[in-house]
Amino acid sequence: MAWRDLRELLDDGLTGDLRRVAEPFAPRHEIAAALRQAPTEAPALLFENIAGHPGWRVAGNLIATRRRLALALGVPVEQLADHCAARRGQSIDPVRADEVPVQQVVREGGDGLLGALPILTHHAEDGGPYISIGVVMCRDPVSGERGMGVHRMMVKGGRRLTVMFANPPMSRLHAAAEARGEPLPVVIALGLDPATLVGAVVRGGAQGADKLGLAGALRGRPVDLAPARTVPLEVPARAEIVIEGRVLSGVREAEGPFGENSGTYFSDTSPVIEVSAITHREQPIYPGLCPGSADVDMLLWLAAGADLLAQLRAQVAGVIDLELARGTAAFSMIVSVARDCSRSEARRLAQLALALDRRLKTITIVNDDIDIRDPNDVAWAIATRWQPARDTVVMEGTDAYVIDPSASGAGQGSKAAFIALRAATGQDARMRLDAAALAKAQALFRPPGFV
């Protein structure tokens, strides 16, 4: 079973793998730099001294390693993908909360409401502070359907945020409200337990699964909800912070630049949320997530990769594992297949994956003697096993993903697969060192005192 809330994970789960940072760090640039530059095996970070925001804390780098992601979801690391795929079809409905810690402090008045929060400014040319990991939730007033997703929001001053609705279900429910000429009430939950967060970013699918029910299934226990203070919605009672407000009908404002997960700046014209209240816990923890960081890669792997892996395994024999290339915003994927998977079968696999995943732009298919988590190994497979004319599949006329800088303004894009499999003759078996000689050599380079 996963953690009840973010605090329980930090206090009881991450002991030994959490660094509490006592020195002052500023929300403008400094915390994001620490999150983005954290080395691969760095611990989770809890900044306890936020310049200009006494009493507030910022947590980040929480799920940057597979080990921590597994711990956060309460499953053994080797079962991560299977666990998520299995829970995808399940649902545990939310329940009415007995206690509502997120409403310990209520702020409703004044124009400077958003200034109370240590909202991070991430990259050098960013146009201002951005909420990068806020879960936006709504309920369609006509159908009752719940919407939930992570959507970036820029602080525009006072009580206003822009919000980027590029993905369903929020984009669809917002469009429906606008077509009726109505504002859309929303709540934005910040500082959720990771399982609920993952529930918010998984693919909704054609039926638009209820993501709160899915979050409950991922947690193995229901999400606790309580009535919001100023909008006709419910809020996750154990979040750290909740922002309440309405998306104004027919209003758009310029936002950006914002350094995106694609590694480049992005500007847009987006809908506007007018904030009506902010509630939070005492000693609140603001969730920091820097675009392009390991936390994002892990979140996308779980949200997009784990599900796709299950679908591919069901359709094509010999599919072994799947990884997203780090820092590519899930545009590039590597899949490993068994030795007996033929090139034609690999092409079918590639076409299937590219068609199923809207965001995916390139897929590289390798055999399982390649470590798909080692970029050098993958580069070696492409250099030595891929013949460009023979082994490339190009798919044209696909939708370009909105934050892909190479497709900006085009609307339409294309996709490619690289089949980098071993030759049937077996003449490209990898050279290897003699096992006993390797062990002796490794002892030579082992640091003194290291057994």
User: Footprint of ligand FMN on this chain (CB under 6 A)?
Assistant: 149-152, 164-168, 201, 203-204, 296, 299-300, 303
Cα torsion at 24, 28, 30, 34 (round to 10°)? Answer: 110
* Cα 45 versus chain centre, distance: 18
Is 152 or 160 the residue whose CB approaches ligand FMN more closely?
A: 152
Pairing of strands 57-60, 285-287: parallel
Q: How far is the CB of 116 from ligand FMN (least distance, A)?
A: 23
Smaller CB separation from ligand FMN, 150 or 370: 150
Which candidate, 377, 379, 391, 394, places its Cα nearest to that of 421? 391
Nearer CB in complex with ligand FMN: 241/329: 329
Residue with tokens 């003759």: 425
| Residue whose CB is less far from ligand FMN, 153 or 370 | 153
Cβ 268 to ligand FMN, closest distance in Å? 9
Q: In what order do the strands lie in the sheet with 224-227?
A: 95-96, 224-227, 234-236
Our CB check for ligand FMN shows the closer of 295 and 391 to be 295
How near is the Cβ of 355 to ligand FMN at its closest, in Å? 13
Residue 201 C-beta: closest distance to ligand FMN, Å: 4
279 CB-near residues (< 8 Å, 6+ apart)? 102, 103, 104, 105, 106, 107, 229, 235, 241, 242, 244
Question: Would you say 200 or 420 has its CB closer to ligand FMN?
Answer: 200
Answer whether 312's CB lies under 8 Å from 353's CB.
yes
Task: Give the residue with the Cβ less far from ligand FMN, 230 or 398.
Answer: 398
Q: Are 58 and 120 in contact (CB under 8 A)?
A: yes
Q: Which is nearer to ligand FMN, 209 or 420 (CB)?
A: 209
To ligand FMN, the closest distance from the beta carbon of 444 in angstroms equals 44
CB of 290 to ligand FMN, least distance (A): 10
CB of 151 to ligand FMN, least distance (A): 4
Minimal distance, residue 395 CB to ligand FMN, in Å: 18
Say which DSSP state 17 is in: S
71, containing H or E segment = helix 66-73
Q: Quick one: angle between helices 306-315 and 80-88, nearest 10? A: 80
Task: Give strand ranges (E) for 48-183.
Answer: 57-60, 95-96, 105-107, 130-131, 135-139, 146-150, 153-155, 160-163
CA distance 361 to 359: 6
Closer to ligand FMN by CB, 161 or 300: give it. Answer: 300
Where on the phi/psi map is residue 300: left (φ > 0), alpha (ψ -120 to 50), or beta?
A: alpha
Q: How far is the CB of 212 from ligand FMN (least distance, A)?
A: 14
Task: Give CA separation, 139 vs 82, 91, 232, 339, in Å.
Answer: 30, 18, 9, 49
Between the two ends of the chain, the Cα-to-Cα distance in Å is 36
Q: State which residue, 320 or 402, has the beta carbon closest to ligand FMN.
A: 402
Q: How far apart, in whole angstroms, are the C-alpha atoms of residue 49 and residue 428? A: 55
Q: In the bound complex, which residue of the shown chain has the CB atom lying closest to ligand FMN?
A: 167
Query: What 3-state class would DSSP assign to 405?
Result: helix
Least distance (Å) between residue 418 CB and ligand FMN: 24
Nearer to ligand FMN (CB atom), residue 166 or residue 320: 166
Question: E strands within 151-261?
Answer: 153-155, 160-163, 184-190, 224-227, 234-236, 241-259
| Residue whose CB is less far from ligand FMN, 10 or 133 | 133
185 beta partners: 246
Least distance in angstroms from the C-beta of 429 to ligand FMN: 39
Q: What is the number of other CB atoms lying within 10 angstroms of the CB of residue 419?
A: 24
How near is the Cβ of 427 to ligand FMN at its closest, in Å? 42
